[in-house]
Amino acid sequence: INELLSSKGQDDLLISEAEASEMVALIKILTPFNKAIKLFEMEKQPTIQHVVPQYFVLKSHVEDPQLLDSLPIAKFRSLLLSQLQDKYLPNISERHKIGSFLWPRCSALAFYSAEEREMVKSSVRRLVQEQEEVMRRRGLLPDPSLQPAPQKKRCTRLSSDDDYSSILGGEKESDVADEVDKYLFIVQTSGNGVRSADLLQWWKDKSTDLPVLSRVVRMILATPASSSASERIFSVAGRLISPRRNCLSPEIVDVMLFLFHYLKKKAARAAVS
């Protein structure tokens, strides 16, 4: 920056070493926020599951003061922390928490207390029950009243604090009480591979084992974490539909938007290569 300023004869604007170090510190503080924004704005992957974990990641990052922080940097950290607590945290809804729970990598909800984890699981069970009723009305699930009474067997209800040692010690997947517990059982017995698995593909593979919960997942993960993607589409559409082109049919506008985004991404790939 100083070289550029010097080349333009603006030596009075040269950055001192102290100012440069503060700029580096600011970049270091804001980098995780930039990563979070990119996660929230993904268009081809679910994003809602990132909202809760990213709050705790950012909060932990901001609360971690450095010994060399100057007074302005310390004040900036304090401001960011207050913004997280006053604006980010109140906007975390039950749906965000459920989205995080349905992300196998984050299903333990370790950042919450045991009581909060049980509340999230109860909410998921309620959604599963509602979805079961819908599926029965559509004939996608058999009516339990018409089925023969199952043989009694011991069922296991997994708590959020269970280390699953009893499960891993010999119980079978069929012994687990419901689909929510079955999901936790599958995650716990899948090993470290679940952390790197593609979320959509993972649930597609488990849709046979978890038919009702997988439908709940479709409903939850379809919710975007940010409205920026749709806002960009409306912005482009606003430029396409001008006073001279106000008779375009919805189908034509849809095709034009598709071509716009396709050509834009094609140009971006060509520029990279």
pLDDT tens track for 194-228: 877 899 999 999 999 999 999 999 999 999 998 88
Task: Check residue 218 and give its pLDDT.
Answer: 95
Buried b (16+ CB within 10 A) or exposed e, 181-204: bbbbbbbbeeeeebeeeebeebbe
Please check the confidence at residue 139 and state whether its pLDDT lies above 50: yes
Q: Output 182 or 140, whichever has higher pLDDT.
A: 182
pLDDT band at 145 (very low <50, low <70, confident <90, very high): low
* pLDDT beyond 50 at 169: no
The per-residue pLDDT for range 44-76, each reduced to its tens digit, is 899 999 999 999 999 999 998 776 788 889 999
Q: Is the pLDDT of residue 153 over 50?
A: no
Phi-psi region of 191 (alpha: psi -120 to 50; beta: other; left: phi over 0): left
Structural Rg of the chain based on CA atoms: 25
Return the pLDDT at 167. Answer: 34
Residue 54 CB neighbour total at 10 angstroms: 20
Length of the chain: 273
Q: Quote the distance between the C-alpha of residue 200 and its chain's center.
A: 12
- Kindly indicate the confidence band of residue 79, based on its pLDDT and cuts at 50, 70 and 90: very high
Judge whether 36 and 57 are in contact, CB under 8 Å: yes
Give CA–CA dist 62/88, Å, rounded.
14
Give percent helix, percent strand, percent coil of the chain, each to the nearest 5: 70, 0, 30
Q: Residue 160's pLDDT is what? A: 47
